[in-house]
Structure 1
Amino acid sequence: MTLQISDDNRVRTLVLDRPEALNAFNEELYLATATALRDAADDPEVAVVLLTGAGRAFSAGNDLKEMQARIEDSSLSSQGSHFSTMINALTELSKPLICAVNGVGLGIGTTILGYADLVFMSASARLKCPFTSLGVAPEAASSYLLPQLVGRQNAAWLLLSSEWVDAAEAQRMGIAWKVCEPDDLLPEARRHAEILASRSIPSLVAVKQTMVAPYRPGIAAATELENAQFMELLGGAANAAALAEFTGQGKA
C-alpha cells in the first residue's frame, strides 16, 4: 500500500506512505490518491479530507527514477500518466482539503498545496519547486495557482529559483496558513478539520464550489500550456543532465 486511508468524525485522512522514497509520487501513488479523493467526494459521511505524509517527508515530488525510465522507454511515455488523473481529482474535489506538511515538500509536494483550502506546516518543514534545476516547466497549474495564492513575485521566486523556502517564509508568502511545532502539527490540523466537519456538508460543498469555480478555466488553460512546455523540455539537454546526476547518486 502506498496510501493509508482512515476515517474519524467525518474527516477522511490520507497519508502518503512511501517513506523509503520520501513519499515521492510514482504512478501507483498518483492513481491511489486520485481514487481516494474521488471516493471521499462521493461518500456522504465524509465532510473534509486531510492529507499528510508518513515519516520525515510530506512528499519529495515526482519519482525521478520513474521519470527517467519513461524518457528512455517510448512505450511508457506514450501511455500518459496518472499525474493528470490526480490533478483532475484535486481540481474537482467538492469538499474542503486540508494539507498538513510534516516535512519536505518538493515539486508536487509543493504545487499540490495550490489546491488546498487550508495548509498547516511543521516548523521544520521546507518547500521547493525544482523545475529550473531539473530543466523542465512548471506542473499542476502552479504557474496559475501560485500567483493567485502568494502574489506574482513570491510565485516567481518559487518557480524560477529552485531554492528552498522554510516554513516561516512559506507562511509570510501565504502558502502556509499556520505553522506548528512538529508534535503539534497533526493535532492542530485535525482540530481545525473537525471544526469544519461539524458543519453541514451541503453547505461546505456550496462554499467550496463558489470559491473555486472561477479558477477552473485558468487551471485548465495553465495545465494545457504547462504540459506542452513540459513535454518539449523533458529529455532535453538540461533535463537529461539533471536526471543523470540525480540517478547517478543513487537517491530514491
Structure 2
Amino acid sequence: MPITVKRIEEHIEVVTVDFPPVNALPVQGWFDLATAVRRAGEDPDVHVVVLRAEGRGFNAGVDIKEIQRDSGYGALVGANRGCHAAFGAVYDCAVPVVTAVHGFCLGGGIGLVGNSDVVIASADATFGVPEVERGALGAATHLARLVPQHLMRTLYFTARTITATELHAYGSVYRVVPREGLDEAALEVARDIAAKDPRVIRAAKEALNGIDTQHVHRSYRFEQGFTFELNLLGASDEAREAFLKDKEKDDD
C-alpha cells in the first residue's frame, strides 16, 4: 500500500508513504496522504501523528511523468490541488505532526516538512525546492518556514539543497540522528507529546496556528497561480521534458 496508517503505540498514529522508486507522488497519492493525516487527527484517541516514508528518500515531489502523459492540464491541476490538500492536512491536523525525514526531501516534500510541527532528520537528509528547474513555482511558502528570508531566496533561485545539519543550526530541524535511529528518534518526541493532556495539546495546536504570521494556504495558492501562467507560456512543459530526458540519460 502506498499510504499506510498504523497505531504503533498507544495514542501515536504513524502515516507511512511508500511510492517506489523515489516517493514522487501521483495526484491520487497526495489526496490519499491528505485523507490519512486528516483522519488521524480527527480520531480522539490519537494524540500525535508521525509522518515518515520508506525507500531511498522522504519525498521527491510530484510525479512529473504523470503530468507529461496528460495531453491537457488535468494532471497538473490535480497535482496542485493534491499538494495543497496534503500540505494543508499536515498544517490543520488537530494534533501535532512529527515528520521523520531521510535522504532527499524535494519540492512537495518541503511542503509537508514546512507545515509540520516537529522535524526529525537523518544525517543523510537534504532539503531543496528544484521547482525553477522544472518550470514551476511553489513551496517557497514552506521553505520560508525552515530558513531565513535571504537564504530561502538563494536556495529557491539556484535550486540548491541544504543539509539536515544546516537546518538544525536554524532550529527548524529539532534533531539530526543516524539513519538507523530516525524512527526511534521521531517516536521519542511523539511519546513526549502523547503523554500530555490531549485537550491541552489540541488547543495548543489550534492556538499556534491562529497566531501564525503567515497564511500558508493563501500564500501557497498564490505561488501556484504563477505555475499555471508558466504552463500556458510553454515554459513548464519544456522544463519537464528536459528534466525527464536528463533523468533517462542518468538511468542508462
TM-score normalised to the size of structure 1?
Answer: 0.89
Other-structure match for 1:113: 113
RMSD of Structure 2 on Structure 1 (CA): 2.2
What does the per-residue CA deviation read over 1:67-105, in whole Å, with 9 as the maximum and x for residues that have no partner?
2234x3245556673223223322321110001002111
Note the 1:147-166 alignment, pairs <5 A: 147-166=144-163
Verify: 1:247 aligned to 2:244, yes or no. Answer: yes
In the alignment, the residues of structure 2 paired with residue 93 and residue 153 of structure 1 have an alpha-carbon distance, to the nearest angstrom, of 29
Other-structure match for 1:73: 72
In the alignment, the residues of structure 1 paired with residue 244 and residue 237 of structure 2 have an alpha-carbon distance, to the nearest angstrom, of 11
CA apart distance, 1:114: 1.1
In the alignment, the residues of structure 1 paired with residue 90 and residue 106 of structure 2 have an alpha-carbon distance, to the nearest angstrom, of 18
SS in 2 for 1:150: coil
Q: Do 2:147 and 2:167's aligned partners in 1 also have CA atoms closer than 8 Å?
A: no
In the alignment, the residues of structure 1 paired with residue 91 and residue 170 of structure 2 have an alpha-carbon distance, to the nearest angstrom, of 22
In the alignment, the residues of structure 1 paired with residue 240 and residue 165 of structure 2 have an alpha-carbon distance, to the nearest angstrom, of 30
Note the 1:208-223 alignment, pairs <5 A: 208-215=205-212, 218-223=215-220
Verify: 1:30 aligned to 2:27, yes or no. Answer: no
One-letter amino acid matched to 1:187: E
CA apart distance, 1:109: 1.2
SS in 2 for 1:83: helix
In the alignment, the residues of structure 2 paired with residue 146 and residue 34 of structure 1 have an alpha-carbon distance, to the nearest angstrom, of 20
Q: Do 1:2 and 1:28's aligned partners in 2 also have CA atoms closer than 8 Å?
A: no
One-letter amino acid matched to 1:26: P
In the alignment, the residues of structure 1 paired with residue 52 and residue 129 of structure 2 have an alpha-carbon distance, to the nearest angstrom, of 18
Other-structure match for 1:187: 184
TM-score normalised to the size of structure 2?
Answer: 0.89
Deviates more, 1:224-233 or 1:43-52: 224-233
Q: Which runs of 5+ in 2 are unaligned?
A: none
In the alignment, the residues of structure 2 paired with residue 247 and residue 5 of structure 1 have an alpha-carbon distance, to the nearest angstrom, of 32
Aligned residues: 247
In the alignment, the residues of structure 2 paired with residue 124 and residue 148 of structure 1 have an alpha-carbon distance, to the nearest angstrom, of 21
Other-structure match for 1:205: 202
Q: Which runs of 5+ in 1 are unaligned?
A: none
